[in-house]
Amino acid sequence: MLTQEQICAYAPPKNLLKNRVILVTGAGDGIGRAVSIACAFHGATIILAGKTISKLEKTYDHIAAQGSPQSIICPIDLHGACEADYLQLNSDIEKQFQRLDGLVNNAGILGERKPLNQYPLLLWQRVLDINLTAQFQLTQALMPTLEASAHGASVIFTSSGVGRTGRAFWGAYSVSKFAIEGLAQTWAAECENTGKLRINIINPGATKTQMRTAAYPAENPGRLKTASDITPAYLYLLGAESAGVNGQRIDAQIPT
């Protein structure tokens, strides 16, 4: 496994992900869009998953314009989807590609930053549904095609700094990220030594996204890394050089 510094500075070969099929949730903007574009640039066929078709189309157009393999738009609302929807998605991928080589669980919502004593129950349930339960259901449903990958598929869950150390007023978002860490670690332990896939966690760090702006409206965005700046960590975990890396929590930026 590379060191933290090496991962953040990772410069992959152009064909790193050639002939690989990777699904990215939240691919319409922010980190999901940047990861999709970077993976496509390095040869992958990307399944662009998200709820807003117009945003997915913009990512699709960018990937097409850079001459990468044609991507696929997959509209799905993680809040409204049910088990049958996820199973149908797995079936569609199996019919078209016979396998899935990577899954980036990136989509999530912030909810509200307010005291737990005042946190609305319906919002609490929505945040946990999108940030945790839907990601469990999606990953579980896609396991057959992930395990069919000849490369040893890579699954990435997205955490946060508030998913390791509780912080006041981060409410359901923080709790959901603590839970994602536990989910990923448990699943990774179950996959250990099977050789079928690996499961890891990325903490993106302070990144210039709409969610970050909502969380820190007074912050100077010019001091933040862009979503494109942090893609090396994702490329490393999705490529062959991270074979055998399992159950790790990786920072996409050097901790300050």
* Amino acid in the structure at residue 128: L
Residue 100 CA to residue 90 CA, distance in Å, equals: 9
Helix (H) or strand (E) holding 75, with range, is: strand 72-75
Long-range contacts of 181-186 (CB under 8 A, 24+ apart): 181/157, 181/249, 183/132, 183/135, 183/136, 183/157, 184/157, 184/159, 184/247, 185/247
Give the integer Cα–Cα distance in Å for 93 and 148.
11
Q: State the Cα–Cα distance between residues 206 and 215, nearest whole angstrom.
A: 11
Catalytic residue, from 173, 216, 234, 236: name it: 173
Q: Residue 173 catalytic?
A: yes
Residue positions annotated with a catalytic role = 173
